[in-house]
Structure 1
């Protein structure tokens, strides 16, 4: 017999029946079912509204990409404006130190790229589809946003601005190559022509929708890199090539070296979109996305090495310290080949702009839809993306300083997000033993990245200030 608080007595059988009829039992069943659902990553626990929003947002709307999507997206993201400045970076760093920096950057960023691919699904049943989501997991909800989002935005918006400048100047160089006797046009007009393409392409909804553009961009990056070093090699070195530093003063050499470090860092920018690219690849517990993603990254880094090292070494060998901050500007002959290379650059930076702008669109649209409760619509998307393209166009027209922008953005934001932030997150979430090989490697990468972050922006900012002093605006 069981006695209740009110003194009423029940038989054991009657008591069990009463318990089974209470809401407590129902709540227990619901709790157990929810626990089973959480434990099973195959069960989608999102509401219908959340699913609809995720299917509308650029990063999570499509998950049917293959490993080769990862390959050419990463090539498009990595090989870009940065490769054109590598001979100039070597001229500021010198042979020994310059090649050492190039090799170390390739190795370090490949390692940190592997870390990010591995951490994409470190929590069973959850995918960190965006860089800031990984940061939130490591640092906390609010602190993760404050640490990652500003740096990622600086990288992505800065890269889009640099690509606006690169595209405009490459179009200008193309016009000068095919029609040397034509009346010169202002750089401003060429940037506006280049930006007009993006006012159309910006409205492609997600990463997979820009796959053709990205593939064409990846092919173009390999093509103009080969043209750059092949044309330089065909020209041959003259007898008076000077391999000394560009500046004759110690301070000038120091600041030039700082700028060059930022230019090298800018050449390895793919980490800022790697999680967003991986988010487009399907994943199951049996076949996680990290397999095809890493295969694509390895292929991409082989292409990066094929592009970067010949351009940097041959370009510096042929021109010495007389090379411009964009090697295609230094090359003038044969005109038809240089014109072709510059047009390849235009096609590539069109794809590169789309790769780097897509996560920005995703951030803005996510904020407006999830936080501000705007309804997902084509009008909202049109407004956001058109405004972004217009803003980057305006800034590019105002500050078209290629080398200085590379150095500043390369050190200020690319060094943290590509060189050491993945290592910090790895140490926090994986917790390797102190003084183990992994622990030491991560701390070495962190120290190198911090040095880049401190030194490179100083040189880049000085270069921009010098350019502003000598530049005729809207020329």
Structure 2
């Protein structure tokens, strides 16, 4: 649930900020209104749109939304790398990494980078939950279409960071379209990453009350979740500076929890090869998570961070 909630907070920050950028690009800011919405208000506009769309009941019902999100993701990633290749390198910009003055600092920088990568792929575990909703048999296993579905977006997404270097040299139409596609993708992704939390809360209600969750309660749960994430986004707008640290906390979900869950469900014989492998992998994953967290804290202390609560 903390992975789901944290991802939705990050999506609100990204989606709201992109809405603001889209407004400034298309409308020209003060040219349309002398008092444009604040960043917090853009977060709220994005959250309202996401909450309305979150009323779809389950993963199967948001298949169309997911498809739209995937198409827009591939589209804006393609636009970004095409613009980057067409514009070339920006003059006066150094592409050399900034190295730390000490050996331990350089090591911690590398570990912090691993945490940032882990944060970037924090939600990929939900692929397993999506795959579980697909029909599967021996002749037509579900992992085949799932693999095809995620291959292209994953390959294209790694180039998205190039966008920021060409903001002043690119057509406003392209910048506006790219921002619009990012907004649509973020709203679509909110539904996918929020669904595990919705399902968990509603299933607990069903198990306790022995009856389906009523529609009004489902709507209330999803609205409270969405606006709770909005509150966190406004309260902690500097969360992007903590990506390495958050990635360190997210690592066990991929590298440790699956091994421990397998041990708990399968209960292999103690000291058997599968028992040793899973305990070794799970323990190593937890150890790597601790090391990345320590490295990220060191980098934060070394470089400093500007904290601004409730001031996005």
State yes or no: 1:352 paired with 2:189.
Answer: yes
Cα distance in 1 for partners of 2:82, 2:224 equals: 40
- Specify whether residues 280 and 434 from structure 1 end up closer, same or farther in structure 2 by C-alpha distance, changes over 3 A only: same
Question: Secondary structure, in 3 states, of the residue corresponding to 1:340?
Answer: helix
TM-score (ref. length: structure 1): 0.55
Gaps of at least 5 residues in structure 1 are 1-152, 316-326
Whether the 8 Å contact between 1:361 and 1:384 is mirrored in structure 2 is: yes
Q: Indicate the residue corresponding to 1:221 in structure 2.
A: 73
Deviations 1:78-123 (A, max 9, x none): xxxxxxxxxxxxxxxxxxxxxxxxxxxxxxxxxxxxxxxxxxxxxx
Q: Indicate the residue corresponding to 2:256 in structure 1.
A: 420
Cα distance in 2 for partners of 1:423, 1:172 equals: 42
Cα distance in 2 for partners of 1:419, 1:330 equals: 36
RMSD: 3.5
Q: Indicate the residue corresponding to 1:342 in structure 2.
A: 179
Return 393-402 or 263-272, whichever deviates more.
263-272
Cα distance in 2 for partners of 1:291, 1:421 equals: 28
Cα distance in 1 for partners of 2:78, 2:134 equals: 30
Q: How do 1:433-472 and structure 2 match up within 5 A?
A: 446=282, 449-458=285-294, 463=300, 466-469=304-307, 471=308
- Specify whether residues 472 and 359 from structure 1 end up closer, same or farther in structure 2 by C-alpha distance, changes over 3 A only: closer
Return 383-392 or 262-271, whichever deviates more.
262-271
Q: Indicate the residue corresponding to 1:54 in structure 2.
A: none
How many residues in Structure 1 have an aligned counterpart in Structure 2?
Answer: 303
Cα distance in 2 for partners of 1:422, 1:216 equals: 30
Return 393-402 or 261-270, whichever deviates more.
261-270
- Specify whether residues 329 and 236 from structure 1 end up closer, same or farther in structure 2 by C-alpha distance, changes over 3 A only: closer
Whether the 8 Å contact between 2:73 and 2:182 is mirrored in structure 1 is: yes
Q: Indicate the residue corresponding to 2:207 in structure 1.
A: 370
Gaps of at least 5 residues in structure 2 are none
Whether the 8 Å contact between 1:258 and 1:456 is mirrored in structure 2 is: yes
Residue 353 of structure 1 and its aligned partner are, at CA, apart by 0.8
State yes or no: 1:273 paired with 2:273.
Answer: no
- Specify whether residues 304 and 264 from structure 1 end up closer, same or farther in structure 2 by C-alpha distance, changes over 3 A only: farther
Q: How do 1:181-220 and structure 2 match up within 5 A?
A: 182=30, 185-220=37-72
Q: Indicate the residue corresponding to 2:149 in structure 1.
A: 300
Residue 388 of structure 1 and its aligned partner are, at CA, apart by 0.6
- Specify whether residues 336 and 410 from structure 1 end up closer, same or farther in structure 2 by C-alpha distance, changes over 3 A only: same
Residue 262 of structure 1 and its aligned partner are, at CA, apart by 1.9
State yes or no: 1:232 paired with 2:61.
Answer: no
Question: Secondary structure, in 3 states, of the residue corresponding to 1:260?
Answer: helix
Deviations 1:109-155 (A, max 9, x none): xxxxxxxxxxxxxxxxxxxxxxxxxxxxxxxxxxxxxxxxxxxx111
Cα distance in 2 for partners of 1:445, 1:293 equals: 26
- Specify whether residues 233 and 440 from structure 1 end up closer, same or farther in structure 2 by C-alpha distance, changes over 3 A only: farther
State yes or no: 1:400 paired with 2:249.
Answer: no
Q: Indicate the residue corresponding to 1:156 in structure 2.
A: 4
TM-score (ref. length: structure 2): 0.81
Residue 258 of structure 1 and its aligned partner are, at CA, apart by 3.8
Instruction: Kindly name which structure, 1 or 2, has the bigger radius of gyration based on alpha carbons.
Output: 1
Cα distance in 1 for partners of 2:42, 2:133 equals: 34
Question: Secondary structure, in 3 states, of the residue corresponding to 1:155?
Answer: helix
- Specify whether residues 347 and 291 from structure 1 end up closer, same or farther in structure 2 by C-alpha distance, changes over 3 A only: same
Q: Indicate the residue corresponding to 1:169 in structure 2.
A: 17
Residue 224 of structure 1 and its aligned partner are, at CA, apart by 1.4
Question: Secondary structure, in 3 states, of the residue corresponding to 2:237?
Answer: coil
- Specify whether residues 265 and 443 from structure 1 end up closer, same or farther in structure 2 by C-alpha distance, changes over 3 A only: farther
Residue 343 of structure 1 and its aligned partner are, at CA, apart by 1.4
